[in-house]
Amino acid sequence: MKKTISLLVLMVMILVTACSKNTTNESAGSDANAANNGKDAYKVVLLIPGTLGDKSFFDAANTGLKKVQDELGAETKVIEMGADQTKWEPTFNDVASQDWDVIISGGSQITELMNMTAERYPDKKFINYDTDINEVASNVYAVSYATNEVSFLAGAMAALTSTSDLPNANPDKKIGFVGGMDIPGINAFLIGYIEGAKYVVPDIKVAISYAGDFANPGKGKELSLLQYKSGVDVIFNVAGGTGLGVFDAAKDQKKYAVGVDSDQSAMMQGTDPEKANLILSSAIKKIDEVIFNAVKEAKDGKLTTGSLEVVGLQKNGVGLAENSVYDSVLPEKIRSQIEDLKKKLASGEIKVSNAMGMDTAKIEEIRRSVKP
């Protein structure tokens, strides 16, 4: 009898030990980024309304979450909710019912859902790292970026490049724009891009295409090839994952491109340097820094919620990626002009129109003014 009891005790000890060694934080999405720092760790979760791998918007948010984990010692997790919007609400509700201290997501498409969820869970803190909707729940920190300002710089850079003697530029004064959808958030980039281009080259033409999709690189490449073959020599990608096709087309045609949200040239240097070296710069939203700073303030009890904060060049919330490609490909004269424009924008000397709230007829008028 004693031998039987001893064997039972030994088996229980082995089972407990094995379970303790295999306890992990599992992601509900296709990729997890978790750090188990003990019971008292600050817990932060990122909900991606799509999937990682866009080398743009979502990947920038994930970079911010990694910084939260590394520098704040937080327990973190990323959940890729996918493109099926019917799955977003149950995911939000499930996560909000758990013991996360901060719940992060981004995009105007999830703003209403986040506000509704936040109202049901007033003890939680929510961060919407990118929205253009003014309605903000009392426990949500929401940020909008002055994308019209950084796009003004991107437009000036593209127009100056197109009219330069750089090896992949042609004599036509024509640049391009590929957007994910014809919506205010994308048109905010477009209007700034057009105004910046016209500021430095008044008779510039801009080919404009909308893919109707943020996750279709094939469509992005198709639209970009049409533009490049029509005489465009620089295309601004504002299309999320679809925009990866812009870079494929740029490589195919040996033309230039401009990235968005993240430093897309830097992200591709390790895997495809030929493609990376054709991306002159990227119009960056400093999403990673916004997420890190907001979580730090939330952890310190200093985060201000309940209103929309707009960050632009003056607050260093946006900017062009001034990397090795930017420095080596663009001549000093163009870089000097961009630096001068940056200062004038930050000081308010140059004012850029904003498509947010702009009448659709006005947007169409601006598009027609640069139609090739």
Q: What is the pLDDT of residue 122?
A: 96
pTM above 0.85, yes or no: no
* Whether the predicted pLDDT of 19 surpasses 50: no
State the Cα–Cα distance between residues 114 and 93, nearest whole angstrom: 10
In a domain, 4, yes or no: no
Claim to verify: residue 170 and residue 275 sit in the same structural domain: yes
Claim to verify: residue 352 and residue 215 sit in the same structural domain: yes
Question: What is the average pLDDT score of the chain?
Answer: 89
* Whether the predicted pLDDT of 325 surpasses 70: yes
Q: What is the pLDDT of residue 321?
A: 96
How confident is residue 153, by pLDDT bands cut at 50, 70 and 90?
A: very high
* % of the chain residues with pLDDT over 70: 90
* Whether the predicted pLDDT of 20 surpasses 90: no
Counting Cα atoms < 13 Å in the Cβ hemisphere of 25 gives 20
* Whether the predicted pLDDT of 12 surpasses 70: no
How confident is residue 9, by pLDDT bands cut at 50, 70 and 90?
A: very low
β strands within the chain, DSSP E = 43-48, 75-80, 102-105, 125-128, 140-145, 174-179, 205-210, 234-238, 256-261, 279-285, 308-311, 318-320
Higher pLDDT, 1 or 145: 145
272 phi/psi in degrees, rounded to 5: -150, 75
* Whether the predicted pLDDT of 35 surpasses 70: no
Claim to verify: residue 248 and residue 291 sit in the same structural domain: no
How confident is residue 208, by pLDDT bands cut at 50, 70 and 90?
A: very high
What string of DSSP letters covers 3-30? HHHHHHHHHHHHHHHHHHHT-----SSS
Q: What is the pLDDT of residue 254?
A: 98
Claim to verify: residue 218 and residue 337 sit in the same structural domain: yes
Q: What is the pLDDT of residue 369?
A: 97
Q: What is the pLDDT of residue 205?
A: 98
* Whether the predicted pLDDT of 27 surpasses 70: no
* Whether the predicted pLDDT of 29 surpasses 90: no
State the Cα–Cα distance between residues 262 and 276, nearest whole angstrom: 13
Burial-class residue 72 by CB neighbours within 10 Å (0-12, 13-18, 19+): middle
Average pLDDT over residues 344-350: 94
* Whether the predicted pLDDT of 331 surpasses 70: yes
* % of the chain residues with pLDDT over 90: 81
Q: What is the pLDDT of residue 291?
A: 96
* Whether the predicted pLDDT of 22 surpasses 80: no
How confident is residue 54, by pLDDT bands cut at 50, 70 and 90?
A: confident
Q: What is the pLDDT of residue 262?
A: 86
Which 3 state secondary structure label does DSSP give 75?
Answer: strand
Domain count, the chain: 2
* Whether the predicted pLDDT of 39 surpasses 70: no
Claim to verify: residue 121 and residue 270 sit in the same structural domain: no
Q: What is the largest CA-CA distance in the chain?
A: 96
* Whether the predicted pLDDT of 26 surpasses 70: no
In a domain, 5, yes or no: no
Q: What is the CATH number of the domain that holds 166?
A: 3.40.50.2300
* Whether the predicted pLDDT of 61 surpasses 50: yes
In a domain, 220, yes or no: yes
pLDDT digits (tens, 9 = 90+) for 119-143: 999 999 999 999 989 999 999 999 9
Which residues constitute the domain of residue 357? Answer: 147-285+331-369
Average pLDDT over residues 279-285: 96
Claim to verify: residue 185 and residue 239 sit in the same structural domain: yes
Claim to verify: residue 158 and residue 233 sit in the same structural domain: yes
Higher pLDDT, 17 or 222: 222
How far apart, in Å, are the Cα atoms of 194 and each of 92, 230, 361? 38, 18, 16
User: Which of 7-11, 242-246, 267-271 bottoms out in mean pLDDT, i.e. has the lowest?
Assistant: 7-11
How confident is residue 259, by pLDDT bands cut at 50, 70 and 90?
A: very high
The two structure tokens encoding residue 190: 């477009």
Claim to verify: residue 199 and residue 342 sit in the same structural domain: yes
* Whether the predicted pLDDT of 6 surpasses 70: no
Q: What is the separation of C-alpha 146 from the centre of its chain, rounded to a whole number of angstroms?
A: 13
Q: What is the pLDDT of residue 170?
A: 96
Q: What is the pLDDT of residue 33?
A: 42
Claim to verify: residue 179 and residue 34 sit in the same structural domain: no
Claim to verify: residue 302 and residue 207 sit in the same structural domain: no
In a domain, 7, yes or no: no
* Whether the predicted pLDDT of 38 surpasses 70: no
Burial-class residue 84 by CB neighbours within 10 Å (0-12, 13-18, 19+): exposed
